Amino acid sequence: MGSCKDPKPNCEFVEGPIIVGAGPPGLAVAACLSNHGVPSLILEKGNCIASLWQHKTYDRLKLHLPKQFCQLPLMGFPEDFPKYPTKQQFINYMESYASHFSIKPSFNQAVQNAAFDSASGHWRVQTQDFEYISRWLIVATGENAEPVIPDIHGIDKFKGLIRHTSLYKTGKDFRNQRVLVIGCGNSGMEVSLDLCRNNATPHMVVRNTVHVLPREMFGFSTFQIAMTLLKWIPVKLVDRILLLVASLTLGNTDQLGLRRPKTGPIELKAATGKTPVLDVGALSLIKSGKIKVVENVKEITINGAKFMNGQEKEFDSIILATGYKSNVPTWLKGCDFFTKEGMPRAPCPSCWKGSDGLYTVGFSRKGLSGTAYDAVEIAKDIADHWKTSKDCKGSVASCDSHVILLK
Cβ contact 31:74 at 8 Å: yes
User: Residue 320: which of 184, 225, 214 has the closest Cα?
Assistant: 184
| Dihedral sign, Cα of residue 63, residue 65, residue 68, residue 69 | negative
Residue 173 is predicted with a pLDDT of 95
Contact present, 103 and 27 (Cβ < 8 Å): yes
Mean pLDDT for the stretch of residues 260-266 = 92
CA dist., res. 381 & res. 364, Å (int): 17
User: The dihedral of CA 310, 313, 317, 321: what is its sign?
Assistant: negative
pLDDT at 365 over 90: no
What's residue 5's pLDDT?
A: 47
How far apart are the C-alpha atoms of 113 and 104, rounded to whole Å?
A: 22
Q: What is the pLDDT of residue 333?
A: 92
At residue 210, what is the residue type? V
pLDDT at site 403: 35
**What is the tens place of the pLDDT at every residue in 246-262?**
999 999 999 999 999 99
Backbone angles phi, psi at 215, to 5 degrees: -65, -30
Distance CA 90, CA 72 (A): 11
Distance, in Å, from the CA atom of 315 to the CA atom of 177, rounded to the nearest integer, reads 8
* Predicted pLDDT at 392: 55
Q: In this structure, how many other beta carbons lie within 10 angstroms of the beta carbon of residue 367?
A: 19
pLDDT score of 49 more than 90: yes
pLDDT-derived band at 398 (thresholds 50, 70, 90) equals very low
Segment holding 282, helix H or strand E: helix 282-288
- pLDDT bin (cut points 50, 70, 90) of residue 144 is confident
Q: Which residues pair with 162 in a beta bridge?
A: 318
What is the helix (H) or strand (E) element at residue 192, kind and residue range? helix 186-196
Q: Which domains does the chain have, with CATH numbers?
A: 10-145+326-387 (3.50.50.60), 148-324 (3.50.50.60)
Contact 123, 18 (CB under 8 A): yes
Question: How far apart, in Å, do the first and last CA atoms of the chain sit?
Answer: 9
pLDDT number for residue 396? 38
Residue 1 pLDDT: 52
Average pLDDT over residues 395-400: 41
